[in-house]
Structure 1
Amino acid sequence: MSVANFEELARHAPETATLEFINGKPTAKPLPDGDHVTIFMWLLRQCMRHRPDLDLHPEQGLKVGAYRNGRARPDGSLGPVGHFAGLSEWADPSGVLMTVEITPHDSGTDRCDRVEKRDGYAQANIPVYLLIDRDTNALVVHSNPQHGRYTQTTSHPYRATVQLPDPVNITLETEKLKDYAL
């Protein structure tokens, strides 16, 4: 399927379906449950408190992957205030400082969030990818993209203090996340 065909399909998808185009394949992103949304709101408050100069945009479509031929809707995209104003549904990722995914409880997205999207964000040269992994109760921080791969990865259990690297520079106190653990 071409990117143009995917974008046409996504434009006509019902509001209850969130579509992405990862590694040349259209995929449907599952609807978030209450804990997923609560974790996103927790992160949003942390970002606003530490970096009021940045916005955490939910579900902003980004052109990702090799040669920008992928289309992803990260759970969050961190960028300067007003960064996405006036842009199309699928924005160029230039200027995005961090993407965030919160794993759903759906085995089909395991590879997508942990591998395929990680690689797409690295290929798009997004400085930091934060994966909040609800299966392992950990925050996985990928950073320093070089040649289409993140060269640094750290994993932190819920309850840890997590320092997000440059250019994000936010310290996350993750104690509250234990309340949403399985």
Structure 2
Amino acid sequence: MALVIPDFYVRRRRPTDLDESYRKAHKGWYPLDMIALVGEVTSSNHETDTGPKLRTYATADVPVYVLIDRHAMKASCHSLPTEGHYTTRTEVDLGRPLPLPEPCPALDTAPFLD
């Protein structure tokens, strides 16, 4: 069991009363099955975002992991987790739209250039 805090996330659905009860009982955390996408923006913990967090999200079967790598000036989308690894990866230069799996629209990465 690992506890990670993404920089941003997208839920699959609106929370139910049961989900809200879970969140209250677990200090603000929603059940994992509610999460459609998590994202990280690299900072001083660059190694954590590109290694342990990537593997943890894949192991937890989070469907999509978006990484904004300000060191490399790249944005990547990892999807289709299988046995602790993401099987697909799409990468673009920061400033270009990052395609995401359906039903999500492409992510505008231009704001991350600042």
- TM-score, normalised relative to structure 1: 0.53
Larger radius of gyration: 1
The match for 1:102 among 14, 38, 41 is 41
Runs (4 or more) in structure 1 with deviation over 6 Å come to none
2:79 equivalent among 124, 143, 148: 143
Deviations 1:30-59 (A, max 9, x none): xxxxxxxxxxxxxxxxxxxxxxxxxxxxxx
Instruction: Say if 1:176 and 1:110 are closer, same or farther in 2 by CA, change over 3 A.
Output: closer
For residue 171 of structure 1, report the CA deviation from its aligned partner: 1.4
Q: Is the 8 A contact 2:20 2:30 kept in 1?
A: no
Q: Which fold has the larger relative contact order, with Cα–Cα distance below 8 Å and residues 6 or more apart in sequence?
A: 2
CA RMSD of aligned residues (A): 1.8
Structure 1 gap segments, 5+ residues each: 1-68
1:157 positional shift: 0.5
Shift of 1:124: 0.6
Specify the code of the residue in structure 1 equivalent to 2:74. A
User: Is the alpha carbon distance of 1:76 and 1:177 closer, same or farther for their aligned partners in structure 2, counting shifts above 3 Å?
Assistant: closer
Q: How many residues align?
A: 107
* Contact 2:76/2:98 (<8 A) preserved: no
Quick check: 1:82 aligned with 2:82?
no
Structure 1 distance, partners of 2:47, 2:107, is: 25
What pairs with 1:40-119 in structure 2 (closer than 5 Å)? Answer: 69-79=1-11, 80-82=13-15, 85-86=20-21, 87=23, 88-89=26-27, 90-104=29-43, 106=44, 109-119=45-55
Q: CA deviation at 1:158?
A: 1.3
The answer to whether 1:175 aligns with 2:113 is: no
Question: What displacement does 1:164 show?
Answer: 0.7
Unmatched 5+ stretches in structure 2:
none
Percent of residue pairs bearing the same amino acid type = 26
Taking the aligned partners of 2:74 and 2:95, their CA distance within structure 1 comes to 9
